[in-house]
Structure 1
């Protein structure tokens, strides 16, 4: 019988031990639904960034023009940076979900262990008493018979409860494995992020220097943009003036140059035949969000001041990569009061994008960018990056034009 007691005591003790310690996990999710939503968004952003990176890398490999190849390569690297950022966000959300489940399981196990701990103590005390001493004590034989009967009826119940407990412990160990995998994913993405970001900084600086050397009047244009930013009473007025300047520049660029006098009058009449023109209001192709993150304010939502949102606001991770939402020309890049550093991108056909909330800038006025070209980084603290899209000066919802 002592062997039976010892076996039961060992069975219960084995079930009570071995619960893994909780891993360190990031905070920031109030409910499991928040973590699950963040995980779904991060995984989708990770897939989108991977697809953009692959497409841009193929474009860079196919391109024969040095400038086009360089822009595509920089945009591809920026997409890979955003892919790593989304991977970190996904790992953190997965870790938060796993940790929450493990805490709930640990609480349930603690409640189940209380009666089993008391039973284990009693069984261990009984198992240490020699059977010969039990036979010599008065009443011991009768107690022995009763104890044996109790043990016979208790053993199946103990085995049943410890089986459920062992199942919970197996689940806890599987959750521990999932948590360690999420931590490993986060570390791998952090390493990739550091490597790609250092490469991107060097590449963006090269492109900025090349653009500055190629555009002789870039410094004068940057000075004019700075003067406009100081004279404008608000951001809307600044964007409006820059749009007017961009529209004038487009009209001047569209003017026909001198044509050679044709030798044959018939050829002149044929060359004057009307040609189909592209749409004058076509939106930017391959339009995308400038930063990976959840939308915290939608287009047209009422602000605290009562005004309506002219764009959307995105929650950006610390030092997140910010990219150009579409191809175009940098009309303004610099600090603006109350908005941090901002970038205004002129697109074709009178479209303009405004990105605010940058901490650093990787572009200069006059530089040509493609969709996904690096613009800069978000601040070191979590904050908002806003995106506005305008057509002919009127705000439109940028989510309607994502490609």
Structure 2
């Protein structure tokens, strides 16, 4: 009995497990609620007078809801692993305690109250047992709570599959509806009409982004409006055009030693790219080795170049409002079970797509940080 009590006291000296599944479950439920709200917004957007704006907000809502759900699952996976490591570290101690308690349970109850040292030893043993019994009960409850929390977290991750499937399907539907609505849009003001022949000649005759940007003025056929967006007052505080993480900053070299005067932003597949401020769409299409490119003019003489998109929206010469959808990133959306596998292995959402962002003032590129606030 003395050995069992000493072992119990050693266990109680360590940190007790705490149940954190409730917080994780609350976060997951909030994410599911956001996805449900996005689904309702999708239905309403189809009948909205401004379908493009409504569908753009719906796509963003889906992206935010899915990211929140991934974050909740990531936290659940991390906590589940922490519990498993904690229980694994105590395996030998728990086994010893259970063995001692099992031996005690097999002894007749009257013998447990006796001590070979006589009445004084018996009294001391009784006092120790009185002190330790509540602690043993607390330890047992903590262990039971940890096991229950691990089971709840595992169930939470499995139950998220249905929510993920609905969210991913809804997001894809919203993106398709947005593409269709933009292709049918005719209400945006035109600053100029494009000369397609001049644009084709410029594309064929230039082999650098510098040369192409410098020759953009040649592609204008007719000036239709003197209205020019001016975001100069917002310089330094403009949000990035896509949700993601900056991988390389201005002038930073990549693994092959190539340095470019812009930002490389990692994004999730099929992320929505939008205009950070009101701007004129100066060019859209494939350009050199940059893939699909959109060139915006948020102020006179200032160009924002977005390269690496899978789809580009809009019509050259249009004045796009702030937050307007300009395109989608490429890549394949992961299946729900792949997302669960990523979170179970401790990773976040995969971000294999990269958007290149360059800012030019006059004929020279400048550090985008002078216009854009860090994410």
Instruction: Using structure 1 for the length normalisation, give the TM-score.
Output: 0.59
Partner of 2:62: 84
- Alignment counterpart, residue 328 of structure 2, candidates 361, 364, 377: 377
Moved more, 313-322 or 148-157: 148-157
Q: Work out whether residues 292 and 307 of structure 2, in 8 Å CA contact, stay in contact via their aligned partners in 1.
A: yes
- Alignment counterpart, residue 389 of structure 1, candidates 334, 356, 359: 359
Asked if 1:225 is matched to 2:199, the reply is: yes
Give me the whole-angstrom Cα distance separating, in 2, the residues matched to 1:304 and 1:229: 29
Give me the whole-angstrom Cα distance separating, in 2, the residues matched to 1:160 and 1:83: 49
- Deviation of residue 293 (structure 1)? 0.9
Give me the whole-angstrom Cα distance separating, in 1, the residues matched to 2:181 and 2:154: 41
Give me the whole-angstrom Cα distance separating, in 2, the residues matched to 1:141 and 1:157: 17
- Alignment counterpart, residue 183 of structure 2, candidates 208, 218, 221: 208
Asked if 1:323 is matched to 2:274, the reply is: yes
For the residue of structure 2 that corresponds to 1:388, the secondary structure is strand
Partner of 1:107: 85
Partner of 2:304: 353
Distance 1:189 1:235, change over 3 A: farther
Give me the whole-angstrom Cα distance separating, in 2, the residues matched to 1:78 and 1:165: 52
Q: Work out whether residues 282 and 349 of structure 1, in 8 Å CA contact, stay in contact via their aligned partners in 2.
A: no
Query: Residues 27-61 of structure 1: CA distance to partner in whole angstroms, max 9, x if unpaired?
Result: xxxxxxxxxxxx9xxx9xx9xxx9xx9xxx9xxx9
Partner of 1:332: 283
Mark the structure with the bigger radius of gyration. Answer: 1
For the residue of structure 1 that corresponds to 2:244, the secondary structure is coil
Partner of 2:348: none
- Deviation of residue 320 (structure 1)? 0.9
Q: CA RMSD in A?
A: 5.1
Q: Work out whether residues 202 and 215 of structure 2, in 8 Å CA contact, stay in contact via their aligned partners in 1.
A: yes
Distance 1:165 1:239, change over 3 A: farther
Give me the whole-angstrom Cα distance separating, in 2, the residues matched to 1:75 and 1:398: 27
Query: Residues 110-135 of structure 1: CA distance to partner in whole angstroms, max 9, x if unpaired?
Result: 33342232332343345346679x8x
Partner of 1:120: 98
Asked if 1:167 is matched to 2:116, the reply is: no
Q: Work out whether residues 344 and 355 of structure 1, in 8 Å CA contact, stay in contact via their aligned partners in 2.
A: yes
Give me the whole-angstrom Cα distance separating, in 1, the residues matched to 2:178 and 2:203: 28
Q: Which runs of 5+ in 2 are unaligned?
A: 12-16, 333-351
Partner of 1:153: 128
Q: Which runs of 5+ in 1 are unaligned?
A: 13-17, 26-38, 62-68, 135-139, 255-277
Give me the whole-angstrom Cα distance separating, in 2, the residues matched to 1:228 and 1:127: 90
Aligned residues: 318
Distance 1:127 1:188, change over 3 A: closer
Give me the whole-angstrom Cα distance separating, in 2, the residues matched to 1:121 and 1:208: 73
- Alignment counterpart, residue 232 of structure 2, candidates 273, 280, 283: 283
Distance 1:207 1:103, change over 3 A: closer
